Structure 1
Amino acid sequence: MTLRGSGRNNCLQCGHLGFLDCRINLSPPQIYDHSWKFWKKSKKGQVLLFPEYRIDTYWCSVEQLPPDEVIRLYHDHGTSEQFHAELKSDMALERLPSGRFASNSLILHLAMLTYNMLRIIGQISLEESDPNELPGIRNKKVLRRRIRTVMQDLMYMAGRLVTRGRQWYLSFGQLNPFSKMMERIYHRLNLLPAMK
């Protein structure tokens, strides 16, 4: 596929890396994005006598993806790194507590489960939030809530476990601005289908 535009030519190619040794059967697909300029100026204003070449190589282990999709996913890798940073910093996993691999694996699996549950609660809280109920710093329109914000606003709430008529209730203070939102989130989570 060749794309042409303002003085820059692009060409996408797919290929495989060839090994000299036949016994090695590791050949992940590669995508080459070639781009070149003709008789343009460089970034510093110098006129180019020869075309400037730039070759980007993307290694991919999924052969079903088209080259454009692989490049788009690669350019969106910062989003994934943001989630990793949030997992490490907000859940205090910068340093794993044990020197044993099995213990650290268990802690990472539990942290991943907790992180996913907090992300679901954070997404539901965006849908269930009423700007009139929330304090001034929380009534802005946002696309997602950080895990630390979800923990501070919804998990660290003071409450009381009350029993009445052989049933248990969790009672929050009337002045807590997040209690109504937490109640709506709780009812939304109860409506989710149970995993069998």
Structure 2
Amino acid sequence: YQKQGSGYGYSGVRGLNALLATASTETAAPVILGQRLRRGSVGSPRGASRLVGDSLAILKRLVPAAGARVLVRADSAFYGHATVAAALTAGAEVSVTVKMDKAVKAAIAGIDEKAWTGIRYPQAIFDEDTGTWISKAEVAEVPFTAFTSRKKTERVPGRLVVRRIPELNPQDTDQPTLFDTHRFHAFFTTTDPEVLDTVTADQTHRGHAVIEQVNADLKDSALAHLPSGRFGANGAWLVCAVMAYNLTRTAGILAAGPFARARTGTIRARLVNLPARIASSARRIRIRLPQAWPWQQGFERLFTAV
């Protein structure tokens, strides 16, 4: 309550609001490209467009431009023209969950019933005869132009990919429905259908939840507590927390093996907080580690690289 800038956000908890942008690949755990500390009552998309632009500029310096495809994934809080335009201007594609407004509902209603395809989902069964998944979850797509309320030059063409799941908890239990009712989860993407088809696009978009693992990782370390009553000091604390996270992730990559994708808490417990002692003999410093230590090879790879 004494922290400068604290307030009640959408979660109903009083505190501050941290916004993160991460980068990840299919083989590497995410690293943090940018961060912003905001007051607690601020809306989620506040400052997101600038953060996306800055983060993509950083990524462009880190990754060779030739052949590198960048996809910006986000949830519905960031479905807005400013954020999407910032990503497209920087040369990236977007995959953003949409809000179920009238335009989106109309587009979903226009999808042909034959267009739905079963996907691998919890409790799905693979039919070897037909080579398809028999699943309660299905996906389909339809051409869609985002932000049609804006002028024509600011409208963004793409496609709306929709996943539907049978509604297991209908609101009216006294009068059952004649047909199955569904819950719909839709997202807007500008990716080429030849690069990401409907099923692959859905699988790829669901991976945006990796940000929650990063949030949990930070809350398990430096962001368990913001130590100061001053907003600027807590902003600096967030920057230091991000630096520590990225350095720890780098240590895991250098150690390779199981550490390449391990949580930072695991890396700290097994490679940083060592059960070792330093000994000096004949003007040489030696580090003495326990015998039959299971993380010896990973530590040696990290030590050699550093």
CA distance, structure 1, for counterparts of residue 277 and residue 163 of structure 2: 63
Match in the other structure for 1:86: 217
Q: How many equivalent residue pairs?
A: 168
Shift of 1:16: 1.8
Distance 1:48 1:102, change over 3 A: closer
Match of 1:63 among 191, 204, 213: 191
- Whether the aligned pair in 2 keeps the contact of 1:160 and 1:171 (CA below 8 Å) is yes
Spell out the pairing of 1:123-142 with structure 2 (5 A cutoff). Answer: 124=257, 126=258
Distance 1:50 1:31, change over 3 A: same
1:39-188 → structure 2 map (5 Å cutoff): 48-49=177-178, 52=181, 54-60=183-189, 63-64=191-192, 66=196, 67-89=198-220, 91-98=221-228, 99-100=231-232, 103-120=236-253, 124=257, 126=258, 145-174=262-291, 178=293, 181-182=295-296, 184-188=297-301
> How big is the shift at 1:2?
1.9
Q: Which amino acid counterpart does residue 75 of structure 1 have in structure 2?
A: R
Q: Shift of the alpha carbon at 1:17?
A: 1.3
Which one of the candidate residues 151, 158, 179 is aligned to 1:22?
Answer: 151
Give the residue type in structure 1 aligned to 2:267. V
Question: What SS is found at the alignment partner of 1:169?
Answer: strand
Give secondary structure in 2 for the equivalent of 1:93.
Answer: helix
2: CA distance between counterparts of 1:93 and 1:84?
A: 9
Offset at residue 4 of structure 1 (A): 5.4
The answer to whether the 8 A contact 1:36-1:51 is kept is: no
8 Å Cα contact 1:32/1:55 also seen in 2: no
Displacement of 1:50 after TM fit? 5.9
The code of the aligned residue for 1:86 comes to: D
Q: 1:40-84: per-residue Cα shift (whole Å, max 9, x none)?
A: xx9769663467455432134x53452433311233444441232
- Structure 1 residue identity aligned to 2:219: K
Relative distance call for 1:17 and 1:78 in structure 2 (3 A) is closer
Which amino acid counterpart does residue 83 of structure 1 have in structure 2? V
Output the aligned Cα RMSD. 4.4
- What letter corresponds to residue 177 of structure 2 in structure 1? L
TM-score by length of 1: 0.57
TM-score (ref. length: structure 2)? 0.41
Q: Which has the higher contact order (CA 8 A, sep 6+)?
A: 2
Give, in whole Å, the separation in 2 of the partners of 1:36 and 1:88: 32
| Cα pair distance change 1:114/1:45, threshold 3 Å | farther
| Percent of residue pairs bearing the same amino acid type | 17
| Partner in structure 1 of residue 162 of structure 2 | 33
Q: Which residue of 2 aligns with 1:3?
A: 116
Q: Does structure 2 retain, via aligned residues, the 8 Å contact 1:122–1:145?
A: no
Deviation at 1:85, TM superposition (A): 0.5
Over 3 Å counting, the alpha-carbon distance change for 1:111 and 1:191 in structure 2 is closer
* Higher Cα Rg, which structure: 1
SS in 1 for 2:223: coil
* Paired letter, 2:226: L
C-alpha separation between the residues in 1 aligned to 2:174 and 2:117?
Answer: 23
Q: 1:59 to 1:145 in 2, by over 3 A?
A: same
